Amino acid sequence: MSDYKLILAGLLFNVYWLIAVLGQQAYVWLLVLSFLACWWFFPKVGRYAFLIAGAGVLMDGILSASNVLAFPSALLPFWLVMLWLGFGCFVWFMRDLVKQYPIHLISLIGGVGGALSYFAGYRLQAVEWPLGAGLTLVILFASWLFFSLLLARMLKRSASCSA
């Protein structure tokens, strides 16, 4: 992946993340359209996006049921499901780059980055942390460390597919 594509993919995902977290339900239609456009232009993205989103929604569902994360309703919000689908697309675009690094490094980066992403969402009042910031950050780091380990292993084992 060229530097230009790497920067573009990172910027687009960060904009997508901001729309999801700041806009939530108000701009969920934009998230849906963005995901569908990505899937339309890159049909192979769907397999990865749905697999990663399914695992991510399961993780967030467990964290929510365990009272680590709290949302206004009992169900995870739809904007969060769409955020996971967008993350799945982002990972698909980054897969060849991710495969170049050791799994344990990717896991560590994922643990820190995932926890910080949730912290930003917490600070922007998109989610509540009933257990407090300290314990929640530790739990999120551990969850994302494990999630990233599984994701990195999946990517290393998967056959390379072209865009």
pLDDT for position 73? 85
* Averaged pLDDT of the chain: 91
Instruction: Name the 3-class secondary structure at 161.
Output: coil
Better-predicted residue by pLDDT, 3 or 126: 126
Q: pLDDT digit string (tens) for 46-80?
A: 998 999 999 999 999 999 999 999 998 888 999 99
Please report the pLDDT score of residue 113 as a whole number: 94
Res 3: pLDDT? 72
In the chain, where are the structural domains located?
3-157
**Dihedral sign, Cα of residue 102, residue 106, residue 108, residue 109:** positive
What is the helix, strand, coil percentage profile of the chain, to 5? 80, 0, 20
Task: Note the pLDDT of residue 162.
Answer: 45
95-120, pLDDT tens digit by residue?
888 888 899 999 999 999 999 999 99
Q: Give the global pTM.
A: 0.91
Whole-number Cα distances in Å, 1 to 56, 94, 96, 100, 154: 25, 8, 7, 11, 19
Share of the chain above pLDDT 70, in %: 96
Asked whether the predicted pLDDT for residue 163 surpasses 60, the reply is: no
- pLDDT of 116 reads 96
Q: Is pLDDT at 25 greater than 60 in this prediction?
A: yes
Is the pLDDT at 40 greater than 60? The verdict is yes
